[in-house]
A and B are shown apart, each in its own frame.
Chain A
Amino acid sequence: MKPFQKTGGIVKHSASFYIVLSALFLFIASCTTDSVVQNSKFTDEYKADFLLVYYDHICRTAKTTQGFFPPQTARAYGYIGIAGYEAVVHGIEGATSLQNQLNGFSSYQLPEVISGQKYNWAIASNAATARIFKYMFEKNLTAANRIKIDSIETSTHQALAANEDAGIVSRSQEYGYQVAEVVYAYSKTDGGHESYLEPFQLPYAIPNDPYCWVPTGAVTNPLSPRWGKNRPFLLSNIDKVKPSAHMLFSSEPTSEFYKEAMVVYNTVKNNTSEQIEIAKYWADDPFATCTPAGHTFNILAQILKEERATLAKSSMAFAKMCLAENDAFISCWKGKYDYVLIRPVSYIKRYIDPSFNTVIGTPPFPAYTSGHSCEIGAGSRILTSLFTNGSGDYAFTDYSQLQYGFFARSYSNFDEMAEECASSRLYGGIHYPIDNSKGLQVGRAIGDNINKEVEWPRIIN
C-alpha cells in the first residue's frame, strides 16, 4: 500500500495515510501527559521577577521565624517550590506534573485545568506561592512577614491582572490557590508538619558510648533527631543513597579515627586567614542568615535573575532545588542519627588537647555526615543541570553574603563552589574530613536522582 500518490505535481494522500497520520498525532499528543492548555500563553512568556521577590522574602522569613533551623527551612522551601511548579506546569510545553512522580503525592488530587479555558500562569503562580508560603510558616509567622507576603501577592496580582480578562484572572487565581491547598495537604503527612513548634523533638536519648555525640555548647539537646524518618520526595534518596560506615571509632593514637581527628586539629591550628574567612563565609550563622539551604537558594535566585530566566525556567529551577534540598536534609539527618558520631571538638578535647577550640560554633547535632556538604552537593548538581552542559563550568560571583558583612566570592564551576563549602567545615573545626567527603557524595547522588528520576521539561530560557 502506498502512503501517498503524486498526481500532476499535487500530492494526494490515501485514506490509510490520513489514518496513520491521525494515529501518529494522537500518539504524540498522548505522550505529553500534561498538554498545554489551548489558547493560553505559555509559561515561558511570563517574567519571573515576582517569584524572585518571593524567594528573597522566604529567606528573610526563615531568618525571622522561630523554629526554622536548617531542616525545617529546607522543608519549607521544598513545598513552596512544588506548589509554584504545579501552578504553572500545564503552561510548559512537554512538562509533566509531579503528582505521580513524588513519593505519596498521587494520593492527593490536584485541581484540573478546564479544557478550552484560558489561564494566566503567572497569576496562578502568584496565588499558589503566596498561599503555600504562609502555610509553611503559619503558626510562627510574624505579622510583619505576613503583611509582606500579602503585599507581594497583591501588587503582583494587580500588575498581572491589569490587562487581563476578568474570567481568566479569577480562574487562574483560584487554580493557584487550589494547587497550594493540595500541596499543603500533602505536606501535612510527611512527618515534618509544624516541626518548627518543637524542632528538638524531645524527648530523645543518645546512647552513652564513647563514640556518641555529646553536647558541644549551651544547647544540650540534639536538633531534630527524628528528621530522618520524614517522607522524602523520592524514596530512592533514602533507599539508594546511604553513606557507608565511617572508620571504626577508636581513641588509640595509631587508629584511623584518631588520625582523622588529628587532621581537624592540625587544620585548625594552621588555618590561613583565607581559610578562616571561608569557614565563616559558609557558616551561614543562625544569628542572621537563612541557613545553608537559604544560601544555596540565594545563589540560584541571583543566577536566574542574571540570566533573565522566564517564569517557566525559574519555576522548574526552584522546584528542582526544593526537592533536592528537602531530601538532602532528610537523608543527611538519617545518617546523623544512625551513626550519632561524636563531634571533633568533643573527641579532640577528650583525647588530644583539652584546650582545643573550633573556629566557628559546632551546631547541636552529630557529626556524620556534614549537613552543609549534603545540601551543597545536591544543590551543585541542580545548578549544573540548569546552567551548564553537565560540566558544571559556570563563572559567577556570589553576592548574597555581602548583606551579612562578607566580601563577594567568585567561582568558575559549581563543583568548585561545593568543594569549598564542604572544606569550610573542616577549616571551622567542626567536621572530620570524612563527614564532608561522604556528605558531598550523598548530596550529589540526591541531586542526580532529582535530575534523572523526575521527568522535567526541556527548558532553555
Chain B
Amino acid sequence: MVKFTLIFLLIIVFFTSCRKQPDFDKLVTEYADIQCRAIVLKDKRFQIADHLRSIELDSIHKRKEIDSLKIVISEIKNRSLILADSIKVKLDDILTNKLANRDDQKKFTDRLAAYIKANGCSHPQAE
C-alpha cells in the first residue's frame, strides 16, 4: 500500500513538473518594442505638458506657440490612444492566454521592466 502511494505521488510530481514553463525571454523581447514606444510617447506627453506650463500667456508670440503646441498635443494624444489600444490587446493575450497564473504574470512584467531598463528605449519604432 505504501509502495503504491509512493508511486502515485511520484506520478503526480512527474506530471506537475512537466507543466510547460512560459518562455519569458521570448515573451519579453517580443513585447518590449511596443512598450518602449508607449514609454517614448509618455515621455513626450510629459515634456510637452512641462513646456506648456513654462509658457506665459501675456504675449501674442507665446499664444501662437501655445496654439501650435495644441496641435502637437492633439497628434500625440491620438497616437497614444491608438498605441494604448494595441498594447491592451497584446497584453491581454499574454496575461490571459500565455501566462497561466498571477506569479507568471508578475514575473513577466518584472522581467519586462528589467529588460527595458537594461537595454533602454533608444531605438523604438515610431508607431
Contacts and interface: CB of A to CB of B under 8 A. Distances in A.
A402 B38 contact: yes
Interface of B: 35, 38-43, 45-46, 48-50, 52-55, 57, 66, 73, 76-77, 80-81, 83-85, 87-88, 91, 95, 102, 105-106, 109, 112-113, 116
A397 interface: yes
Contact of B46 (A360, A395, A410): A360
A396 B102 CA distance: 8
Contacts of A4: none
Contacts of A60: 81, 85
Interface stretch (A21-29, A31-39, A280-288): A280-288
A280 B105 CA distance: 23
Q: Which secondary structure dominates where chain B touches chain A?
A: helix
A287 B109 contact: no
A288 B45 contact: yes
Contacts of A399: 91, 95, 105, 109
A8 interface: no
Nearest to A407: B113
Contact of B106 (A288, A357, A410): A410
B91 A285 contact: no
15 contacts: A217-B53, A218-B57, A287-B48, A287-B49, A287-B73, A358-B53, A360-B49, A361-B49, A402-B87, A403-B88, A404-B42, A405-B43, A407-B116, A408-B106, A410-B106
A343 interface: no
B112 A404 contact: no
A398 to B, nearest CB: 10
Contact of A408 (B52, B55, B113): B113
Given A217-B53, A397-B105, A407 B45 contact: no
Nearest to A409: B109
Contacts of B40: 405
A249 to B, nearest CB: 24
A217 B53 CA distance: 6
